[in-house]
Structure 1
Amino acid sequence: MLVAARPMTTIPAQFEQTLSAFPDKTAVFGGDESLTFRQLHAEAAATAQALASLGVLAGDRVGICMQKNLDQVIAILGVLWANAIFVPIHPVLHAEQIGHMVDDCDMKLLITDSTRITELRDATHGRIVVGHGPAEEEMPSLKELRQKCRNAPVFFRAKPKNTAAIIYSSGSTGKPKGIMISHRNLADGSRIVASYLGTKATDRIAGVLSLNFDHGLNQLLQTLYAGASLYLHNLIFPRDLFRLLATKRITALPLMPVIITRMFDPQLPGPDADLDFSALRYVSTTGGPVTARMLDQLQRTFPGTDIVVMYGLTEAFRSSWLPPDQLSARRTSIGKAIPEVELYVLDDQGQDCPPGVPGQLVHRGGCVAKGYWNAPEATAERFRQIDRFPGETVVFSGDLVRRDEEGYLYFLARMDSMIKTRGFRVSPTEIEEHAHRFDGLLGAVAFGIDNPEIGQDIAVVYTTADRTPLASQVLTEHFRLGMPHHMVPRWFVHAEAFPATASQGKVDRVAVRRFALEKLAGLCSVQHNHDCT
């Protein structure tokens, strides 16, 4: 059944049900501190009242730029309870980037850590409040304000269709845009993901992911929906994470590929030999391709644990998942549609592509966002109504995929990143997958560089396990033996590590491309006599 046929609800409404069932169960652990569902609910209500005392009204945009801790969790829920719209901002972003978001969505207030107040005062035009850390002189402290609002009544009045959050896209393929997420989107996302992962009150979820993007935020919302417990953890040294998994008997470990790479960094100590991970039910991952090396590392470290591969886009949160029993047979598949969602592979005329033929992935059903903030043209391009589904908005993902005979989907590339070379359209993903088959190569990003003679040359930027470069001739031979001539890269560039986008933790492909072009600029102009910039 598609989500449209289900009753509409909100996160606060889901939380109220969980509160009735598990009032004194611990909801969130953060270091040496923790909050029960009752305490978390009271802190959220007090925060909402405190925000109202600062002049925050229903529909106002409130930014949250904080390190991951209990105060950040309380701030997120407090903004929701205040009927305002929260705007999650990763704390590694610079003042100029944050200033763009402040101005773009006309932000009423920014909640941030005390260590950022001086830096961000100008970027926020002085509309700033301390969310964590010691209070600043002449600067409101949300923690102190909410202590004055104890026992405040809940005055949540927003409707499911109202905007709950504006999440800025990762910027991995261009300038970030603010995506408007409704209260229903958030509630449907928590319920749907919990349904196919089997999330329940006995689960203990590792909160490794940032709460500033949708996949990390969903772990908190699943906790509120199912009555589970969330253990916040800031990943610095992998060994500390492995110890958390064992000592706290963690049952659910949501990850992203960049975090998997960090967990198994050969330069850092791995898990102690005597750690017991038998409580771990599943490891889930989304936000980029999972290499064979990553899967092998996860399966060796967590034997018997389900590995769940997922795919999604912020415009519709989550689209597909690959059931664990299909992983060995379909290692590169992104699976099939999640419950209450239908996925289509359409050609340029809007017709279904037969199996094996690439087309654009189109998402219908659950979690379709409201569009882009203050960007009607971009909204019209991505969020469309088509004759096939009258009166209904579907999301054209911009992702090129293919479907096999059994209906399983395979991601090929972003449609705007296809490499056009020698009369062929080449998927960067196919190039990257073949690069990953080379022993010792850790990560790869492929893209095209304009060459008037053949269209584009293929370039590959790669990282290695020992952080030392490989011989380009050896890599070229690897591709010549395994790929058609037109898919053999012309350029190989070594990087010690890939930068990640701040808002979503994906590989920052724009920054990687810029890095490679700077490295190659001289070589390209001399050897091919064309512009590489």
Structure 2
Amino acid sequence: MSPCNGGDSGNPRQGEPRVADLIHQFITRAAQVQGSRPALLFRDTVLTYAQVAEQVGNAAHGLLAQELGAAERVAIYLPKQPETVIGIFATAAAGGCFVPVNPVLKPRQVSYILRHSQARVLITSAQRLQQLAAELPACGELHTLVLVDTLAEERREALASELRGLKVIEWQALLAAPPRAPHRRIDTDMTALLYTSGSTGNPKGVVLSHRNMVAGARSVAEYLENTPDDRLLAVLPLSFDAGLSQITTAFSVGASVVLMDYLLPRDVLKAVARYAVTGLAAVPPLWNQLLQLAWPDEVADTLRYVTNTGGAMPVASTRALQDKLPHTRVFLMYGLTEAFRSTYLPPEEVQQRPQSIGKAIPNAEILVVNEAGELCAANEPGELVHRGALVALGYWNDPEKTAERFRPAPGQDPALPLAELAVWSGDQVVRDEEGYLYFVSRKDDMIKTSGYRVSPTEVEEVAYLSGLIAGAAALGLSHAQLGQAIALVVTPSAQANGETLERELLALCQRELPNFMVPSHVIVRAALPHNQNGKIDRRALNAEYASLFQEPTE
């Protein structure tokens, strides 16, 4: 084994594994206690904790051999496979900061993340590199590309001239580097950047510390009652906090994880049966798709618990899940990328209050605050504010947006010289007399579709690239399966052909945007409404087209 335990301090008693303070130490600790138990399953491959620990250590040495500095960013642009997980934890073990990039993003979005995060190393595949090649010269901080597979010699030579100044090495070469001492890190140091869409502009990089991630994993594992016997199915992208949580929560208790990128919903059910999965987290649209299928008997026999993320679970879907899985515990949850998870509803409360998002998770406090900054009374709507160890370090290289979202927690003693910062979510909630929380609405214009958060501006900016429109507004409208579907409302420019404009805009969006961002409908109109400040009146548009995707009732 080649462990790389950067930042270890203190000495456990001889023969005892230390308690993990840093996120990668979950793996080294589990390898010491139960090295022969499975950690990762991928298709027909099984990696034990000892094998994962060895590969993480070797890859960390390889990153250090590429002169990775303390807290420097390593972007990982891959589907869910062992190298993705190894790359994430190896970066942490080396003392760097990992940046998981959603594999469905197109080159333009990936380029933005690489540039904004100032990534120094990119771990990806040969095929993805070829798609990214034209964007990489603009990524000035990037110096090394690590390929998890082999690039054909003729293509390597062509890329070498196209990517002058970038070093390209293969995964096996990274693992073969000689040992090097990692950078010393402590639990308050940053270790991850997770990019999440904002209500305006490009996605924001949420900065997470080791402490954030370790505390989050332990908190979730506590209320889900995870043990080494659990096996989690990872169907969510690892660029999502909830997707990454499947890995960290499992590793925190020595459980195993099945890595899966599914093509069809029925593949998820087959995987649950095949791998005897005990825990499954999914977004409401996927749950709704799964509920339309016939479930193998093994699914109900093996699933100990299920959870939701990425949006409120429709009550009808919750009831249908309970019918399909009468012996499975259903946890309804709410979370923020800026604070990992915030609340959960215990399974024993789901029957009585299925619309509730529950109460605070362990080691967090959730406050409901009115416009005056005061704590709300029972049943008084207010903003959800999260305080505690899970609160992130802010938005990378964006002090203005950080100051908007991360503000002093209310109710602190004025004698405290340094105010504790909390996350002000922008979500309106109410708390009932028994302390249970209920989601009301969002303050901003964020679109939540298929579990993804989409910035309207990102969609609109692509539409403007066409040169065929004078104005645009992307709306998130209620949709039975997706939660929200995207409608793009535009006014044509003088150059536009009215007969072909809709088709041209959809074709452009399909080329430039990942599938979940592509509008489901384009509406062309002569003018857009504006408010008194001269801004597009999105509220009026949302009201006008509210029923666009709703099925007609007889």
Q: Which category of TM-score, normalised to the shorter sequence, fits these structures? A: 0.7 to 0.9
Task: State the match for 1:371 in structure 2.
Answer: 394
Instruction: Give the conservation status (yes or no) of the 8 Å contact 1:65–1:88.
Output: yes
Higher alpha-carbon deviation: 239-248 or 30-39: 239-248
SS of alignment partner, residue 378 of structure 2 = coil
Residue 521 (structure 1) aligned with residue 525 (structure 2): yes
The answer as to whether partners of 1:81 and 1:154 remain within 8 angstroms in 2 is no
1:42 to 54, 68, 77: 54
SS of residue matched to 1:372: coil
Q: Structure 2 matches for 1:184-199, cutoff 5 A?
A: 184-199=211-226
Partner of 1:22 in structure 2?
34
Distance 1:311 1:205 in 2: 19
Q: Does structure 2 conserve the Cα–Cα contact (< 8 Å) formed by 1:46 and 1:147?
A: yes
Task: Provide the C-alpha distance between the structure 2 equivalents of 1:199 and 1:273, rounded to a whole number of angstroms.
Answer: 24
For residues 279 and 273 of structure 1, the distance between their equivalents in structure 2, rounded to whole angstroms, comes to 11
> Any conservation in 2 of the 1:43–1:146 contact (CA below 8 Å)?
no
* 1:45–1:154 Cα contact (<8 Å) kept: no
The alignment status of 1:410 with 2:438, answered yes or no, reads: yes
Counterpart for residue 93 of structure 2: 81
Equivalents in 2 of 1:32, 1:120: separation in Å? 30
Paired residue type of 1:396: W
Partner SS, residue 523 of structure 2:
helix
Q: Name whichever of 286-295 and 191-200 sits farther off.
A: 286-295
- Using the TM superposition, give the Cα deviation of residue 133 of structure 1 relative to its aligned residue in structure 2, in angstroms: 2.4
Residue 146 (str. 1) matches residue 158 (str. 2)? no
Q: Hey, what's the Cα distance between the residues in 1 that align with 2:251 and 2:477?
A: 43
Residue in structure 1 matched with residue 307 of structure 2 by the alignment = 284
Q: Which residue number in structure 2 is paired with residue 454 of structure 1? A: none
Q: 2: CA distance between counterparts of 1:319 and 1:404? A: 17
Q: Equivalents in 2 of 1:283, 1:219: separation in Å?
A: 12
Amino acid at match of 2:525: A
Partner of 2:145: 129
Q: Contact 1:85–1:164 (CA<8 Å) still a contact in 2? A: yes
- The residue type equivalent to 1:196 in the other structure is Y
Superposed counterparts of 1:33-432, under 5 Å: 33-125=45-137, 127-135=143-151, 137=156, 140-149=168-177, 152=179, 155=182, 157-171=184-198, 175-264=202-291, 266=292, 270-271=293-294, 273-386=296-409, 388-389=411-412, 390=416, 391=418, 392-417=420-445
Judge conservation of contact 1:47–1:142 (CA < 8 Å) in 2.
Answer: no
Once the 2 structures are TM-superposed, how far is the Cα of residue 303 of structure 1 from its aligned partner?
2.0
Within 1, Cα distance between the matches of 2:353 and 2:127?
47
Q: Which runs of 4+ in 1 moved over 6 A?
A: 530-533
Structure 1 pair 165–330 and aligned structure 2 pair: CA distance change class (3 A) = same
The two structures have a TM-score, normalised by structure 2, of: 0.74
Contact persistence 1:238–1:271 (CA under 8 A):
no
Q: What code does the residue aligned with 1:394 have?
A: A
Question: Is the CA contact 2:20–2:29 (under 8 Å) kept in the aligned structure 1?
Answer: no
Instruction: Name the structure 2 match of 1:473.
Output: none
Query: 1:212/1:417 Cα in 2 relative to 1: closer, same or farther (>3 Å)?
Result: closer
CA change 1:214–1:464 in 2 (3 A) is closer
Give the alignment's TM-score, normalised by structure 1: 0.76
* C-alpha distance in 1 between matches for 2:353 and 2:77: 39
Task: Determine helix, strand or coil for the equivalent of 1:350.
Answer: coil
5 Å-filtered alignment, 1:497-516, equals none
Matches of 2:476 and 2:168, distance apart in 1: 51
| Distance in 1 between residues matched to 2:281 and 2:200, nearest whole Å | 24
Number of residues of Structure 1 aligned to a counterpart in Structure 2:
444
**In 1, Cα distance between equivalents of 2:305 and 2:82:** 25
The percentage of aligned residue pairs carrying the same residue is 34
SS of corresponding position for 2:87: helix
CA deviation string 1:289-346 (max 9, x = no partner): 1112321332232222111011110111111000011111111111100011111111
Task: Give the residue type in structure 1 aligned to 2:209.
Answer: S
Change (3 A) 1:417 1:90: closer
Structure 1 unaligned segments of length 5 or more: list them: 1-6, 419-427, 433-444, 448-457, 466-494
SS of the residue corresponding to residue 362 of structure 1 reads strand
- Displacement of 1:8 after TM fit? 8.6
> Contact 2:64–2:180 (CA<8 Å) still a contact in 1?
no
Q: Which runs of 5+ in 2 are unaligned?
A: 1-18, 161-166, 457-474, 483-505, 530-535, 542-554
Comparing 199-208 with 384-393, which one deviates more in the overlay? Answer: 384-393
Shift of 1:210: 1.4
1:3 aligns to what?
Answer: none
Contact 2:285/2:481 (<8 A) preserved: no
- In structure 2, what is the Cα distance between the partners aligned to 1:531 and 1:397? 23
Q: Distance in 1 between matches of 2:404 and 2:286?
A: 32
Secondary structure of 1:188's counterpart equals: helix
Q: CA separation in 1, counterparts of 2:224 and 2:230?
A: 11
Q: CA deviation at 1:10?
A: 1.3
Q: Equivalents in 2 of 1:173, 1:409: separation in Å? A: 27
Residue identity matched to 1:462: H
What CA RMSD, in Å, does the superposition of the two structures yield over aligned residues?
3.1
- The change in CA–CA distance for 1:341 and 1:464 in structure 2 (over 3 A counts) is closer
Shift of 1:256: 1.5
Evaluate the alpha carbon distance shift between residue 309 and residue 55 of structure 1 in structure 2; reply closer, same or farther with a 3 A threshold: same
The alpha carbon displacement at 1:459 in A equals 8.9
